[in-house]
Every structure is written in structure tokens, then in C-alpha cells.
A and B are shown apart, each in its own frame.
Chain A
């Protein structure tokens, strides 16, 4: 039987860029200042439409799991299958963690763009 794969699912329409997941990984893994388990990247803000409504703007964040994160929560990681502190505390409640199969099923529940990180 193949090794179990795990994934981090991000509802990035509503992920607010609040940095809680970054600090949570540092705390849970005891990382030094310059290392990250999750690092946020920002896209935008830029104007894409003529008006000034939300639909006329592009602005989102992605919480990117690093290899440090995958080493712990990915296949055969010491924390594989356990909810990461980052997933619990992230303030917009837009991160999900589980097996790849669970996360694929979860993703299918949404009708908006999502990002699935296979760890």
C-alpha cells in the first residue's frame, strides 16, 4: 500500500493574510526567526476593472507551506494526521488539513477558486 499523502487546502478568497499561521508554525516547531513553516505571499492589490467595487480589484494572500511544514505534516512526518496549530488558529478559518483524499472532497464542497497544497 502506498504511503498516505496529506494536503493543506486554502480557501484563498477569504484567507485574510493575518500572519497567525506563520507565528503558530514558529511556536509549534520551535523555529528560529528566519525560518518559516508557513509563509504568506501577497498578490495585489491591483485594479482590474473600470469601477471601484470589490469585483474591480484583485487582492489575495496565499499561506505557502514550506518543506519544513511538509517534513512534519506530510507523508511519514512526525505530526502527519495531527491538526497543525496553524490550521486551528488562522483567524479567517480558511485553512484545512487532512489526507489528500479528504481535502479533495472538501475542495469539491466549494464553488470558488481554492488552492490545494499536496505536502
Chain B
């Protein structure tokens, strides 16, 4: 039923309806589904949609609708817990208090800071979640360590696309223009519907990557948009009438990008005016693209010549062309070149910062900017000790974190120094979510003398190495702000409004405020407990509001005003297209892009300075039967991974009954021809293996993937199984990331082959039996 736009309503029967926007935990990207949280007597009754949200218009995804189950799941941890160091791996957790946890943890932090330097503390952050704002702050200004780590080999998720956008385009993340920033949505007079959208290495309907509400593609298709889907699979979107599929061999996308570009240069079908005014290195990129004639590209990618030509003609001549680029750009050793080539293609199609094309924001803004500024809490000497920063400038310039692979090396070798304390902020990376070779990480993590885990449920990672467990509140249990793209292109921003309290759980910002007040009060002045020390819930609530009021000042709001506003869309506050023409992208106020040359760098000055080819090029993936012919007999197949489903966010939601019912077991997609060859029938258990490891899945026989290519599920563990070592909730049984090599990354330190490694497969009896 409809409840109106006010942020909270109390009904006659005592039911309370709180208007909110979702984020995490439990996990999701910052999509901000507009919802109504219905509670009674402090209990969550259900989640409903908010009809007045201009983007989601009442729609809510399955995971958020199942929040009640998640909230009251017996596995959920709702009080602070601790465990003796010698009991790691055993289910011997005991309840403690926040005051005790604060005392002990702060004492440990100070001990490591004083005896080994603040750099001996490493903080691991999880992907997509609200933690993506706060794990930087927790590391830099609370713990005052430079070692903030996202453990995915080659930082292969979103970070590379953002960094390349910053280097090549001088802007934040370019997102498909789905009119999300405009209050009038698709009917806003400033908007033009994309005639075609190129959906490349992305399946946004289940994934909602980076805060892009994926079902906008359906809204756009209903209005007449057609899709060009570039993916090793046929996707549901790609299989709608009128759409085109380029079913590319995994990891060969860069060849396809250069091939498309070459055809556009050859035919002259591109936006000449834009290219000549705004692309730096146009002649050089033409010459480079000429090295990729369509026949050669067809052979590399296995995409028919005619289809490549057809798409090049559409991109070159139809307007406007929208673009949605995905994780496949990051999970590729050759991905830096792919991202660069993609930006050039979008520029040639006249899509940059134009209606129905790609929107642009600054490289970091609002909370996204605040999180980066937290590094100022350390002096240069400490900051210079950031792991891998000096060796990998092409990564450490764009990202404020460590180089992930280098971090594992440091933990294994204690070079250049030993890490002593760890803090997991919403990361369960022993489960196949991000880290490659998780068994190596598991062993290395054991060396940490003291480990704090911040999470919502007991995970394999927490069970393996945690000493303290700090329980987190869901998005319905705390106040906060959701903003798309973590401030790198804020399509909209909305309040998360607290609707209920469960146990003694706390949010990311509350944990930062509590520990910051103890460890670094000059950077964390908001929380003022009555006695200066003991947990003071009223003071904490005030601190959260004051913190967000300070963050909102630049937009002219305070927290309460923002709550009442309900949703902030830049289109109502001075948003403009074609900012490069108007001097709105560069800090000096001049027209152009915020790059060294002021143009879009098809020839990258920065790449060149870091020893990388300044122009995009294709490189055969180095764990393929083509590049490793000696292993082709043993591992004749290629497997991709990482595609999402509606039932989970990476490793989350496996313990939620109604979601587990949708996808009860880890799956591998296999073409019928390959399945027949291997004697596999639908539903059989299959072990997928290569020179690095093995993992088990149930076979899904499907024609959407080509013969010889597999697609394996990620993020699997079994909450119903024994959680103690060595089983750890079965975390090693279907661990796809065991098959992904460590440190097989591109020259800038970005990109690992999660979406394409050679492998073999065999039928087995079950998850546990050969």
C-alpha cells in the first residue's frame, strides 16, 4: 500500500513505516532501492517498495525482500564475541561487551603501532558494500595504517575501470545514461533515449554493478532501445528480439575493441568533430587499430566477421549509443588496454557526457572524496610504506590501497616488514569472492597475531582467523547515506533511515566513530560519550547525525533535512551535459578533460611514464590452450566465472532459506556438446580443475555457452556444514578461486584472469565423493 513521501509514518495500529534506500549489509552495490520498511513493536514485518522513488519506482530485488529472514537468521551474530588465540578455527566464541572489546582492541592497536609501526596493521575490505566508504577511513584515520587492502588479485573489480577513466578520460566512472540523475526520468526534456546500448562483459539485471539499477535496461528496451551484448554467453537481455550478440572468446575482448575501432576508422563512420577536438593521439590510435583487421579479430575472438562489421556500423552511425561496461574489463590481464580502447570507442561514437550516452562525474566527490582525504591522518613517512605502492605506480596512483598480490607476498615473506594485526571489514575472502589462491591466503593469515572481524554472520574467514567479532547492523538498522559509484559518478544519493534495532549490532560508521574517538579523536571528533569512554548509545546516535550533517554541508543540507528530502538527484541541482565544453571537468576551469593533455588520451601519457605501451594492444591470455600448447592436452577447456544470480551477493545469503531455495548448489554451465564428450548429464556433480586447484559444481547443460567454454559459480560455502577447521563450512569444496593463479597481472598491477583460465573437467559422484 502507499504510505506517502514522509520519512516515517506511524499507523493507527502501531505499525511504523520507514521510507529508506537500501545498501548494505547484507551485501549489494549502492543501488538504493527505494523501500518502505514495515515494523511493529520493534520487529521487522516486511520490506515493501517505494512507488515515489523515480528510478526503482516501487521495485525491490529478491535479496532485499528476504531481509526479514536474514535479520532473524539463527546464524546471525548480534553481540560482540571473542575467542582465545589458541582456539582459532574452533567454535569457541564467547559473548563480550562493546566496552571490553573497545578496551582490548584499542590496547592491541596501540601496542602494534608503538612496537612495530602502524603499517604492521592491515585492513581488508569487502567489495560493493557500505564498507567501501568506511574501510578506507578505518584504516587511514582510525588505525592510521597505510595498508588498506582489497585482496582480489590485480584489484580486478571496478578499481581498474575507475583508475583508467581517471588516467585516460580525467573523470570518474562513466556510467550509461539511464536518466537516473534527472527528476523527470526518461521523460525529462533534457534526456534522449539511447537508440542502442552496448552491454559489454556485464549482466546488470542480477548484479546492479556499482549502483547502476540493472533493470533500467528493461525499462529502456520497453521504450525501444536495442542492445548489443558482448559476452561469452548469450544473456537473457541479449536474447530479446532485435538485439545483437557478439559471443566473444573469454579474455579476447581487447582484440574485438580494436577491431571495431579499425572498421570505424576505415569506413570513416565515427564522430569526426568530437574525435578531432577531443581525442589525443588520433593518428597513433588509427595506426594501432589498423593492426587489427576484421578477419584477424574474428579468428582471435571467434565472433563472425559479418557481426563485427554490423556492430561497427551501428556504433559509427546510430545516435545516441549508450554503454554499460562490466567486471570483464577488470578480470583480465589485458583489461587496462580494454578499458582504454572502450573509452576511445565511446568517444568515437559521440557518447561521452551526452544524453543517452555516458554520464560523467568527478573522480571522487562527497563521501567518496572524504574517504580518500582520510589518508591525511598519516605523515608521508608512514604513507610511503604502503605495500606495493612504489613498485606499482600505475595502480597506486589511482587506488589508495595496497597492491593486493604484493600484500600476500608480504604476508608470506615478512618483506619489507611483518604484518602483525588484521582487521576484516565485511570481507569473507577465503570464500571464492576475491582473493586468488585462497589456501595461500589462509596459511598467511595464520601469522597475524591479532585479528578483528566486522561482519553480520559467522563466515569461514571469521571462523578461521578471527579473535574478535564485531556484529554489524543491516541497512534497515542504521542511519546512513547511499550514493551510486561510491562518489565517482553520483547518479543519485539517498538516506538509509534506521527502522529497527537488533541485539547490539553497529554500523560501519558507528564502529569508526567509537574506535576513532579512542584512537584518533582529532580526526574523529563527533562521538562524545558521557564519561568519555563507556558506550553511550544516545551520544553515538547524535554523533552519526552530526557526522552526516558535516558530509552534507557542501550540498546545503543537514542530516534531518536530507532525511526529509528522501532522494538527491543532481539533475535538480545544476547537473549539465557536455561539461568538457563548459570548463566543468578541469580543476583550472578550462574546457577539456582533466588529463595531462586536456583531451581523452587514446595515447596515454601516464601509461608511457609507467613503462606501459601508451596505446591499447591485444595480448593472448597466458593461461589458454593457445598460449600454453604444452598444457592444452591436459587442460583443453577454458572456464570463466563471476557471473551473478538474483539469489546472492557473492558469498552472502547462502544461509537464507528462501534464497538458497532458488540456487541450492554451486553450478557450472556447460555446452551440450562438451557435456556429451565428457559423459556429463544435467545435474551431475563435476570437478573443474587445472594446474592451480580444483572445485566442484553441479552441471547445468545449456546452449548459451559455446563448446569448450565453462562458466563456474563463485562465492560458495555451505553454512549448514561443520564450521570448524579444517572443513570451515566446506569453503574449499567449490572454491573457484583455487583455479586462479596468484600475481598473473598486467604491467600496471591491474587485472587477473578470473574470467578465463584453462582447465579440465570430470564427473564425480557428489560434493564429497569421487
CA distance A26 to B241 in the complex (A): 33
A52 close to B62 (CB less than 8 A): no
Interface window among B10-18, B313-321, B654-662, B682-690: B654-662
Within 86-103 of A, Cβ neighbours of B (below 8 Å) are at 88-94
Interface window among B217-225, B324-332, B451-459, B635-643: B217-225
- What mask results when residues 55 to 73 of chain A are scored 1 for a CB within 8 Å of chain B, else 0? 1011100000000000000
B306 to chain A: closest residue by CB: A51
Asked if B627 is at the interface of the complex by the 8 Å CB criterion, the answer is: no
Asked if B57 is at the interface of the complex by the 8 Å CB criterion, the answer is: yes
Q: Which of A17, A58, A89 contacts B49 (CB under 8 A)?
A: A89
B47 close to A20 (CB less than 8 A): no
Residues of B within 8 A of A90 (CB): 59
- What mask results when residues 26 to 63 of chain A are scored 1 for a CB within 8 Å of chain B, else 0? 11100001000000000011110000111101110000
B703 close to A47 (CB less than 8 A): yes
B242 close to A93 (CB less than 8 A): no
Within 222-240 of B, Cβ neighbours of A (below 8 Å) are at 222, 227, 234, 236, 238-240
CA distance A53 to B221 in the complex (A): 15
Asked if A9 is at the interface of the complex by the 8 Å CB criterion, the answer is: no
CA distance A55 to B244 in the complex (A): 9
B658 close to A33 (CB less than 8 A): yes
Asked if A24 is at the interface of the complex by the 8 Å CB criterion, the answer is: yes
Q: How far, in Å, is B198 (CB) from chain A's closest CB?
A: 14
Residues of B within 8 A of A47 (CB): 703
B66 close to A91 (CB less than 8 A): no
B222 close to A54 (CB less than 8 A): no
Asked if A18 is at the interface of the complex by the 8 Å CB criterion, the answer is: yes
Q: Which of B57, B59, B227, B307 contacts A20 (CB under 8 A)?
A: B59
CA distance A52 to B303 in the complex (A): 10
B58 close to A18 (CB less than 8 A): no
A13 close to B46 (CB less than 8 A): no
Q: Which of A17, A18, A24, A52 contacts B234 (CB under 8 A)?
A: A52
Residues of A in contact, count (CB < 8 Å): 35
With A18-B205, A20-B65, A27-B68 in contact, do A54 and B243 touch (Cβ < 8 Å)? Answer: yes
With A20-B62, A45-B703, A55-B242 in contact, do A85 and B48 touch (Cβ < 8 Å)? Answer: yes
A23 close to B62 (CB less than 8 A): yes
Q: How far, in Å, is B269 (CB) from chain A's closest CB?
A: 21
B218 close to A14 (CB less than 8 A): yes
- The majority secondary structure among interface residues of chain B is loop
B236 close to A52 (CB less than 8 A): no
A82 to chain B: closest residue by CB: B1
Asked if A118 is at the interface of the complex by the 8 Å CB criterion, the answer is: no
Residues of A within 8 A of B646 (CB): 17-20
Q: How far, in Å, is A110 (CB) from chain B's closest CB?
A: 10
With A14-B221, A23-B66, A27-B47 in contact, do A54 and B215 touch (Cβ < 8 Å)? Answer: no
- What mask results when residues 37 to 81 of chain B are scored 1 for a CB within 8 Å of chain A, else 0? 000000000111101000001111110011010000000000000
B46 close to A53 (CB less than 8 A): no
Asked if B402 is at the interface of the complex by the 8 Å CB criterion, the answer is: no
Residues of A within 8 A of B57 (CB): 93
Asked if A16 is at the interface of the complex by the 8 Å CB criterion, the answer is: yes
Q: How far, in Å, is A40 (CB) from chain B's closest CB?
A: 9
With A33-B658, A45-B704 in contact, do A91 and B65 touch (Cβ < 8 Å)? Answer: no
A53 to chain B: closest residue by CB: B244
Residue picked from A18, A23, A91, most chain B C-beta under 10 Å: A23
Residues of A within 8 A of B61 (CB): 18, 20, 91
CA distance A19 to B647 in the complex (A): 8
A16 to chain B: closest residue by CB: B205
Residues of A within 8 A of B704 (CB): 45
Q: Which of B46, B234, B659 contacts A45 (CB under 8 A)?
A: B234
A88 close to B48 (CB less than 8 A): yes
With A14-B218, A54-B242 in contact, do A19 and B48 touch (Cβ < 8 Å)? Answer: no
Asked if B403 is at the interface of the complex by the 8 Å CB criterion, the answer is: no
A13 close to B240 (CB less than 8 A): yes
Residue picked from B57, B646, B657, B659, most chain A C-beta under 10 Å: B646
Residues of A within 8 A of B62 (CB): 18-20, 22-23
A33 to chain B: closest residue by CB: B657
A89 close to B48 (CB less than 8 A): yes
Residues of B within 8 A of A52 (CB): 234, 245, 247, 304, 307
CA distance A82 to B241 in the complex (A): 34
Asked if B693 is at the interface of the complex by the 8 Å CB criterion, the answer is: no
CA distance A59 to B241 in the complex (A): 10
CA distance A54 to B226 in the complex (A): 10
CA distance A92 to B205 in the complex (A): 9
CA distance A47 to B227 in the complex (A): 18
A16 close to B218 (CB less than 8 A): yes
With A16-B205, A27-B47, A92-B218 in contact, do A54 and B60 touch (Cβ < 8 Å)? Answer: no
Q: How far, in Å, is A88 (CB) from chain B's closest CB?
A: 5
Residue picked from B49, B242, B244, most chain A C-beta under 10 Å: B49
With A16-B215, A16-B218, A19-B662 in contact, do A27 and B65 touch (Cβ < 8 Å)? Answer: yes
Q: Which of A16, A19, A46, A53 contacts B243 (CB under 8 A)?
A: A53
Q: How far, in Å, is B256 (CB) from chain A's closest CB?
A: 14
Asked if B702 is at the interface of the complex by the 8 Å CB criterion, the answer is: yes
B65 close to A55 (CB less than 8 A): no
- What mask results when residues 341 to 377 of chain B are scored 1 for a CB within 8 Å of chain A, else 0? 0000000000000000000000000000000000000
A88 close to B51 (CB less than 8 A): yes
CA distance A41 to B427 in the complex (A): 34
Residues of A within 8 A of B239 (CB): 44-45, 54, 57-59
Q: Which of B46, B247, B658 contacts A85 (CB under 8 A)?
A: B46
Asked if B184 is at the interface of the complex by the 8 Å CB criterion, the answer is: no
A59 close to B60 (CB less than 8 A): no
Residues of B within 8 A of A57 (CB): 234, 238-239
CA distance A57 to B240 in the complex (A): 8
Asked if B521 is at the interface of the complex by the 8 Å CB criterion, the answer is: no
- Identify the 8 closest CB pairs spanning chains A and B, nearest first: A54-B243, A57-B239, A23-B65, A19-B62, A89-B60, A59-B239, A27-B46, A92-B218
Q: List 22 A-B contacts (CB under 8 A).
A: A20-B60, A20-B61, A20-B62, A20-B646, A23-B66, A23-B659, A27-B46, A27-B47, A27-B65, A45-B236, A45-B704, A52-B234, A54-B244, A55-B241, A58-B239, A59-B234, A85-B46, A85-B48, A88-B58, A89-B48, A92-B218, A94-B218
* Chain A residues within CB distance 8 Å of chain B: 13-14, 16-20, 22-24, 26-28, 33, 44-47, 52-55, 57-59, 82-83, 85, 88-94
* Chain B residues within CB distance 8 Å of chain A: 1, 46-49, 51, 57-62, 65-66, 68, 205-206, 215, 218-219, 221-222, 227, 234, 236, 238-245, 247, 304, 307, 646-647, 657-659, 661-662, 702-704
